[in-house]
Structure 1
Amino acid sequence: MNIEQYKDIAPYRGQDVRDAVARVSANKDAIYKMLSSLGPAENEQQQKQISAYASHIVSMLDKVYNYDDFQRYITAGIFLPAILEKSVDSFTISGAEHTKKELSYLFMSNHRDIVLDCALIDIALLKSDRMLCEMAIGDNLLTNHFVADLFKLNGGVTVKRTLPMREKYLESIRLSAYFVELITEQNKSIWVAQKSGRAKDGLDVTTPAIIKMLHLSQKSKGISFNEVVNNCRIVPVAVSYEYDPNDLIKAGEEVARIAKGEHCKKRYEDLISISRGLKGYKGNIHIAFGTPIQGEYTTAEQVAQEIDRQIHTLYKLWPTNLFAYDYLENSTQFSHLYRDFDTEAFLYRFKGAREDVRLFALNAYANPVRSFLAAQQQS
C-alpha cells in the first residue's frame, strides 16, 4: 500500500503525529474551550477543574506516537469516560467474540450521532481487546486546523463531501481503495456508517453504493465482487441509544426538509448537534457486533440486505423504543417490557413541539422496533 497517495485523507502517521501533537499541546486555550463546551464551566471551581483537565491532556499527549496511543490515552482514556460518566447510565457490549484479535475488519454501523457512533465502537473494541479502527467522517466537520489535527490524530479518514459530481465520484473510488488496501494490505480496521448522514427517522438502511464502490476500486486489478466482499470482512454493528439528545432537533429538520424538499444547514448546525449529542442525557447505550459477512454474493444489494438484517436483529430495544411503538400502534404488545418505565415523563419530553414534529420524533424511537420485527419475520 502506497500510503503517500492517500496522505491528504489518511490519519496522521510517523512524524506528522508528533508535529500535530506539538500544535495541539501549544494550544491549551483551544483544549480548554473544547472541554468547556462539554460540561459546566459556570463557577470558579468548575473552571479550575477544566483547566486541570486541559493540563492533564497536554501532559498525556507526550505519550502519543500514533492514533492507537491517542485513542488509549486521550479519547478512551479521558474524553469518553467523562462523557459516559456524565450522560450515560450504562454502556454494554456484545458480539465482539465474533471477531479475532489478529484480524482487521470493515465495521459498518447504523448512524445516529455525528461523532459518538464511531467513538463508542472504538472504546468497545478496546474493552474487548480487539484492534482499534480508523474512522471515516466528512470534511464538513473539520472547521479549523485544531479540529482537523484532533480528528486525524484520532484515526480520522477524511471523506471529501464538497466536490463537483465527477470529482466526487472519482474521490469515492479512491477512498474505497484506501478502505480495501488498509484492511487487506495493512491489516488495519476501519469504521464507516451504513449511509451518508444520520438516520434521523430511526430507519437504518445501508446504501448499496458504498459496497459497489469497494468493488469498483479493485475492479482494474481483476478482483471479483465476491472476493472484495469476503476480503473486507464486513462486520455489521448496531448502536442502540435509549435516548437521543437531538431527537426533537432531528425531527424538526426532517419535517422542514420534507415540506420544502431540502434542508439548508445553518452555520455551526453540526457543531451544535455534536455538543448536544456529547453532553445530553442518553440513558443506556449498547454496542452489538454482528458476524463478518462471508459467502457467495453477486450484488451490492445482497450485501446491503445482509448488513441491514444483522443490524436490525442486533438492536437493543429500550423501553423508549417499545413504548413509542405501542403508543403509536395503539398496542400493548410490549407493555410487559416497560412496566417500570415512566411513560408520562417520556411523552412530556415532546410537550410544546408541533404535532407533526412530535409524531416524527416518536416514530424515530418506534422505527427500530418495526425494523426488528420485519427482520425476524424474514429470518
Structure 2
Amino acid sequence: MNVEQYKDIAPYRGSDVRDAIERVLKNKDALYRILSSLGPVESEAERQQVDTYTNYIFSELEKVTTYDEFQEHITAGIFLPAIIEKSVNKFSFDGLQKIKDDQAYLFMSNHRDIVLDCALIDFALDRGGKMLCEMAIGDNLLTNQFITDLFKLNGGVTVKRTLPMREKYLESIRLSAYFVELITEENKSIWVAQKSGRAKDGFDVTTPAIIKMLHLSQKKKGISFSDVVNNCHIVPVAVSYEYDPCDLIKAGEEVTRLAKGEQAKKRYEDLISISRGMKGYKGNVHIAFGTPLEGEWENSDQVAQEVDRQIHTLYKLWPTNLFAYDYLYNSTQFKDSYKDFDKEAFLYRFKGTREEVRQYALNTYANPVVSYLAAQKK
C-alpha cells in the first residue's frame, strides 16, 4: 500500500505523530476545556480532578509514538473510561468470539452519535483484546488544527464532504480504495457508519452506495464484487443506547426539515451535539458484533440488506424502546419487559416540547423495535 498517496486523509504516521503531539502539548488550555465538557466543574474538587486528568494525559502523551498507542493509552485508557463513568450505567459488549485476533475487518455500524459510535466500538475491541480500528469521520468536524490533530492521532480517516459533485465522486472512490487496501494489504481494521449522517428517526438503514464504492475502487484490478466484499471482512455492529442525550435536538431538527426543507447547519452545531453526546446521560450502552459477511453476493443492495438484518436483530432493545413502542402503538406486547421501568419519568423527559417534536422523539425510541420485528419475519 502506497501510504503517501493517502497522506491527506490517513491518520498520522511516522514523524507526523510526534509533530502533532508537540502541537497538542503546546495547547494545554484546549485539552482542559475538552475534559471540562465531559462533566461538571463547579466545585474546587471537580476542577482539581480535571486538572489532574489533564496533567496525566500530558505525561502519557510524552510516550506516544503511533496512533495505535494514542488510541490505547489516551482514548481507551483515559477519555472513554471517564465518559462511561460519568454518563453510563453499564457498558457491555458481545460477539467478539466471531472476531479473529490477527484479522483486519471493516466494521459497519448504525450511526446515532457523531463520535461515540466508533469510539465505543474501539473501546470494546480494546477490552476484548482485539485489533483496534481506524475510523472514518467527515471533514466538517475538523474545525481547527487542535481538533484535527486529536482526530488524526486517534486513527481518524478524513471523509471530504465539502467538494463539488464530480470531485466528491472521485474522492469517494479514492477513500474506498484506502479502506480496501488498508484491510487487505496493511491488515488494519477500519470503522465506517452504515450511512452518512446520524439516523435521527431511529431507523438504521445501510446506504448501498458505500458497498458499491468499495467494488468500484477495485474494478480496474479485475476483482469481482463478491471477492471485494469477502476480502473486506465486513462485520455489522449494533450500537444501542438506552437514552440518547441528543434525542430532542434530533427530533426538533427533523420536524423542522420535514416542514421547511433542508436547513443549513449553524456554526458549531455539530460540536454542540458532540459535547452533549459525550457528557449527556446514556443509561446502559451495548455493542453487539455480528458475523463477518462471506459468500456469493449479487450486488450492493443484497449486502446492505444483510448488514441491516444483522444490526436490526442484534440491536439491544431497552425498556425505553419497548415501552415507547407499546405506548405509541397502543400495544401490550412487551409489557413484561418493562414492568419495573419508570414510565412516568421517561414521558416527563419530553414534557414541555411541541407535540410533533414529542411524537417524533418517542418514535425514535420505538422504531428499533419496528425494525427488529420486521427482521424477525425475514
Interval of TM-score (by shorter of Structure 1 and Structure 2): over 0.9
- Residue in 1 that maps onto 2:158: 158
- TM-superposed CA distance for 1:67, in Å, is 1.3
RMSD: 0.6
Write out aligned runs for 1:1-379 (5 A): 1-378=1-378
Provide the C-alpha distance between the structure 1 equivalents of 2:254 and 2:370, rounded to a whole number of angstroms.
Answer: 19
- TM-superposed CA distance for 1:101, in Å, is 0.3
After TM superposition, the runs of 4+ consecutive aligned structure 1 residues lying more than 3 A away are none
TM-score normalised according to structure 2 size: 0.99
Higher mean displacement: 54-63 or 43-52: 43-52
SS at match of 1:23: helix
TM-score normalised according to structure 1 size: 0.99
Provide the C-alpha distance between the structure 2 equivalents of 1:75 and 1:357, rounded to a whole number of angstroms.
Answer: 35
Provide the C-alpha distance between the structure 2 equivalents of 1:17 and 1:235, rounded to a whole number of angstroms.
Answer: 29
Letter in 1 for 2:109: S
In the TM superposition, what whole-angstrom CA distance separates every residue of 1:11-44 from its partner, at most 9, and x where no partner exists? 0001100111111112111111111122212233
In the TM superposition, what whole-angstrom CA distance separates every residue of 1:122-180 from its partner, at most 9, and x where no partner exists? 00001111100000000000010000000000000000000000000000000000000
Contact 1:254 1:263 in 2 (8 A): no
In the TM superposition, what whole-angstrom CA distance separates every residue of 1:238-288 from its partner, at most 9, and x where no partner exists? 000000000000000000001111122111110110011000000000000
Letter in 1 for 2:212: K
SS at match of 1:63: coil
Letter in 2 for 1:38: L
Letter in 2 for 1:62: E
Contact 1:239 1:315 in 2 (8 A): yes
Provide the C-alpha distance between the structure 1 equivalents of 2:63 and 2:228, rounded to a whole number of angstroms.
Answer: 37
Contact 1:9 1:157 in 2 (8 A): yes
Letter in 1 for 2:263: H
Provide the C-alpha distance between the structure 1 equivalents of 2:263 and 2:85, rounded to a whole number of angstroms.
Answer: 34
SS at match of 1:287: strand
- TM-superposed CA distance for 1:45, in Å, is 2.7
Provide the C-alpha distance between the structure 2 equivalents of 1:58 and 1:149, rounded to a whole number of angstroms.
Answer: 14
For structure 1, the residue ranges without an aligned partner over 5 or more in a row are none
SS at match of 1:135: strand
Letter in 1 for 2:5: Q
Provide the C-alpha distance between the structure 1 equivalents of 2:214 and 2:173, rounded to a whole number of angstroms.
Answer: 7
Provide the C-alpha distance between the structure 1 equivalents of 2:51 and 2:130, rounded to a whole number of angstroms.
Answer: 33
Higher mean displacement: 279-288 or 257-266: 257-266
Provide the C-alpha distance between the structure 1 equivalents of 2:224 and 2:270, rounded to a whole number of angstroms.
Answer: 38
Contact 1:94 1:287 in 2 (8 A): yes
Higher mean displacement: 204-213 or 255-264: 255-264
Query: How many pairs align?
Result: 378
Residue identity over aligned pairs, in percent, reads 77
Provide the C-alpha distance between the structure 1 equivalents of 2:37 and 2:376, rounded to a whole number of angstroms.
Answer: 42
Provide the C-alpha distance between the structure 2 equivalents of 1:54 and 1:375, rounded to a whole number of angstroms.
Answer: 46
For structure 2, the residue ranges without an aligned partner over 5 or more in a row are none
Provide the C-alpha distance between the structure 1 equivalents of 2:376 and 2:97, rounded to a whole number of angstroms.
Answer: 23
